[in-house]
């Protein structure tokens, strides 16, 4: 007879199987969500990549200028120094006390003008006695010469009297020269500097009194490389500028070319003479000098701001007609490497790589790349000049 199970024994429940199913469904749902998110993100990234591939940057705003063939006079530019044609520091040859000063600081003086008078009282008194001795020596020589002719005096007495007369005359001459040396005069016309002596001052030989400089004309001394010797010769016109007077120009002529080349720099020292009637060119000033040649040449010139300077080569951006992605016409900047020549003011000569009449970007080259689209706006383009002048604020 079968035995029935006790009523207090628990029966087996299906709950653990249902829990595993829920866990599996939850994991599958999470994976599904992750897959959906990954798909959305992948779609977004793909869309961004496609947009980047098809993105066309907006055109850059630049200014432009047309390369022109202009005629330049051949010239050589250098930096030089203004020198006085004649310049000295005046001083006294003999010691003495300053009794008179005949000039004002910075005044113009004439050749022979008395500048400083030293005390000559002692020499003047000695001169009176020396002149008396000289007169007595002359009379004695005349008397002895007469007596010697008559035979009353020997020849030796005549020779002694003649020597005594010469010595007395030499003493007079020496005192007169000494007195003259105590009067210091201007050796040439010019402008005198600040005096370095005062009344009553005792000066010694060589003590400076003042600087005297001739002001018209002046020299401008400068250096040019030895290669320039083939293009320069005495007599060529020169043009001088100084920073102190930026709006003014002085014209002169090349007067001297040194007959040797400096070994340290392989440069040649040259000197030009320039009229300076207004006296504004002062000795010691720095000056920019252009040695002008009679020969002319035609060059292709563009503003220096149009050149992209780089160690591997200088280049410009030439504007050419093109089309954008939509097929509409636009301007495209094409990079072109060039060789540069002489530079004058804001302009630089292009020896190769550019033809006359081509349009180049004059401002904004630093932000361009080859083939970049550009928009030209010349409303605020600065005016390039061969001889620019600074503008006062």
**DSSP states of 247-275 as a string?**
T--EEEEEEEEEEEE-TTT-EEEEEEEE-
Residue among 117, 143, 133 at smallest CA distance from 170? 133
Residue listed under structure tokens 């599958």? 28
Residue among 211, 179, 208 at smallest CA distance from 109? 211
What pLDDT, on the 0 to 100 scale, is given for residue 2? Answer: 47
Sheet bearing 87-91, strands edge to edge: 87-91, 208-213, 190-192, 108-109
How far from chain centre, in Å, is Cα 337?
A: 29
**Each residue's pLDDT tens digit, 262-272:** 888 888 898 99
Residue among 243, 110, 126, 101 at smallest CA distance from 184? 101
Q: Right CATH number for 93-116+184-213 from 3.40.50.150, 2.30.110.10, 1.20.210.10, 2.40.50.100?
A: 2.40.50.100
**Each residue's pLDDT tens digit, 14-31:** 556 677 788 888 888 888
Tens of each residue's pLDDT in the chain, 393 residues = 444 545 454 444 555 667 778 888 888 888 888 888 888 888 888 777 766 655 556 777 888 888 888 877 777 788 889 988 888 888 888 888 888 888 888 888 888 888 888 887 887 888 788 778 777 878 877 877 777 777 777 777 777 777 888 888 888 888 888 888 888 888 888 888 888 888 888 888 888 888 888 888 889 999 888 888 877 888 888 888 888 888 888 888 888 888 888 888 888 898 999 998 888 888 888 888 888 877 777 788 888 888 888 888 888 888 888 766 556 667 888 888 988 887 777 788 888 888 888 888 888 888 878 888 888 887 767 777 666 655 554
- CATH 3.30.1300.10 is held by the domain 76-85+216-295: no
What pLDDT, on the 0 to 100 scale, is given for residue 57? Answer: 66
Q: Which is it for strands 202-203 and 96-101: parallel, antiparallel or unpaired?
A: antiparallel
Length of the chain: 393
Predicted TM-score of the model (pTM): 0.56
Query: Which residues have a Cβ under 8 Å from the Cβ of 337 and sit 6 or more positions away?
Result: 313, 314, 315, 353
What pLDDT, on the 0 to 100 scale, is given for residue 12? Answer: 46
What pLDDT, on the 0 to 100 scale, is given for residue 386? Answer: 63
What pLDDT, on the 0 to 100 scale, is given for residue 325? Answer: 57
Q: Right CATH number for 61-71+297-376 from 3.40.1110.10, 3.40.50.2300, 2.40.420.20, 2.60.120.560?
A: 2.40.420.20
């Amino acid at each position: 007879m079968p035995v029935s199970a006790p009523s207090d024994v628990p029966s087996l429940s299906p709950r653990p199987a249902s829990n595993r199913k829920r866990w599996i469904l939850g994991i599958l749902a999470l994976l599904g969500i992750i897959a959906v998110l990954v798909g959305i993100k992948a779609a977004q990234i793909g869309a961004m990549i496609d947009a980047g591939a098809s993105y066309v940057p907006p055109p850059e705003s630049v200014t432009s200028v047309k390369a022109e063939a202009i005629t330049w006079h051949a010239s050589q530019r250098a930096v030089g120094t203004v020198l006085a044609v004649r310049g000295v520091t005046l001083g006294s040859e003999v010691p003495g006390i300053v009794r008179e000063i005949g000039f004002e600081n910075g005044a113009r003086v004439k050749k022979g003008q008395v500048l400083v008078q030293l005390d000559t009282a002692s020499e003047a008194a000695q001169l009176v006695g020396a002149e008396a001795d000289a007169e007595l020596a002359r009379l004695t020589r005349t008397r002895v010469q007469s007596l010697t002719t008559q035979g009353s005096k020997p020849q030796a007495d005549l020779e002694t009297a003649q020597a005594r007369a010469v010595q007395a005359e030499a003493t007079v001459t020496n005192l007169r020269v000494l007195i003259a040396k105590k009067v210091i005069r201007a050796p040439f016309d010019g402008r005198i500097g600040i005096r370095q002596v005062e009344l009553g001052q005792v000066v010694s030989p060589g003590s400076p009194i003042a600087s005297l400089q001739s002001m018209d004309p002046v020299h401008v001394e400068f250096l040019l490389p030895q290669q320039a010797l083939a293009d320069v010769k005495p007599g060529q016109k020169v043009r001088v500028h100084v920073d102190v007077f930026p709006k003014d120009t002085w014209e002169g002529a090349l007067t001297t070319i040194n007959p040797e080349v400096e070994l340290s720099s392989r440069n040649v020292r040259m000197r030009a003479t320039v009229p300076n009637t207004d006296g504004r060119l002062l000795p010691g000033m720095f000056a920019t000098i252009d040695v002008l040649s009679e020969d002319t040449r035609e060059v292709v010139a563009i503003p220096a701001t149009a050149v992209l300077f780089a160690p591997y080569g200088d280049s410009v951006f030439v504007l050419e007609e093109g089309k954008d992605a939509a097929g509409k016409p636009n301007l495209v900047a094409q990079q072109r490497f060039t060789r540069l020549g002489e530079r004058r003011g804001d302009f630089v000569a292009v020896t190769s790589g550019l033809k006359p009449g081509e349009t180049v970007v004059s401002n904004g080259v630093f932000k361009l790349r080859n083939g970049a689209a550009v928009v030209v706006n010349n409303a605020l383009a600065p005016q390039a000049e061969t001889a620019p002048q600074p503008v006062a604020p």
